[in-house]
Every structure is written in structure tokens, then in C-alpha cells.
A = this chain, B = another copy of it.
């Protein structure tokens, strides 16, 4: 199977999951509205921004990962389903963290931040497994060269370790600090990333005119 429809379905799931985050905001502002009330809802905005960046960056990495291969097999699609199962769940702990971050009971906020961390850890593991599978089967999946898999594995591990640290901080110390750690990991991934098609020169890279550029003759 070529990667086109797997990408199309995954893009759709990422797009809907990232948009579901706005439903947490839609719960704000019932009753009399004031600037004070909107400002007091800052944990909702913080959680929205962190989760939006996190899902956005996961989409970028997913994009890069699938662009390295030119077809996918059944096992890749099954692994992809488990990966998406984690991504779709992200709005759930996001809502819990936003609702409980400034609640009277700090224990509730920490429980929410632990769940948030566990979901991100699960997604990181799913990414690592899928990456290792693609790297191990790159010939049969039509990748001309997935370079430096060790380097990439290190980068994935960096995120995973960060999420574990954040979860431990949430469990034993502070939900606010944990959320800041999750935000820092998202910002780290904005700049650090998988070696992409530029490095690996898969089919369809910039040096060859691809279909969307269209000089067929």
C-alpha cells in the first residue's frame, strides 16, 4: 500500500484531535462575563497552548516519519492506529489539567498532570516503536536511506525522559511545574527533529520534480 491514504487518514485524525481542544475553551464564560473572569481562566489557555503545540509537533514528526518511506505494510498501519489512539486521547487530560490546575485541592491538579504525562509517555513509546519498525524494514518499505537511526532514537528518548520527569514532578511535587516541563519539551521539539527528507533524500525530495510540481513530459 502506498502511504497516501494512511497520511490522509492520519492527517484527518490529527486535525480533529487538535481542534477538539477548543471544546475546553467553549466551557468558559457562562454566566456574567468580565475581563476578570476571562483572565482567571488562564489555566485553560495555558493547557490549550501546550496541547496544541504538542499535537502540532507530533503531527510534524509523524509527517517526517512517513515521508521517509514510500509504502506502508499492515504492521505499520496497526502501529499507526495505536499511535493515533494516544493522540486522540490528549484532549482528555488537557481538560482535566485545565480544570484542576488552580482548584482548591492541589492533589486534583497533580492527578490530572500525572495522567497527562502518562498519555504523552504512551504516545512517545508508540512513536519509538513505529520508528524502530520503519528503520528495521526500510528496504521493503521503499526508503532509499533512513540515515542516523541511532541519532533519531536518541532524540525520541530525550522526549520520553522529559515526559517521565514531568510525570514524576506531577506525582510528588507540583502540577504547574509539570505543565511547564511538558511545554518546554514541546518547544524543544519545535527546533530539534528527525533527520528529514532533506538529509535522507527519499524519492519525491526537492531535487526531483514531484507530482505536485508537475512537469510530466
Contacts and interface: CB of A to CB of B under 8 A. Distances in A.
Interface string A71-91: 100100110010011001101
Contact of A52 (B5, B60, B81, B206): B81
A45 to B, nearest CB: 9
Contact of A88 (B7, B18, B85, B213): B18
A13 B8 contact: no
B19 A20 contact: yes
Contacts of A49: 85
Nearest to A78: B190
Copies in the complex: 4
Contacts of A8: 7-8, 11
A87 to B, nearest CB: 9
Interface stretch (A100-108, A131-139, A151-159, A160-168): A100-108
A17 B22 contact: yes
B206 A214 contact: no
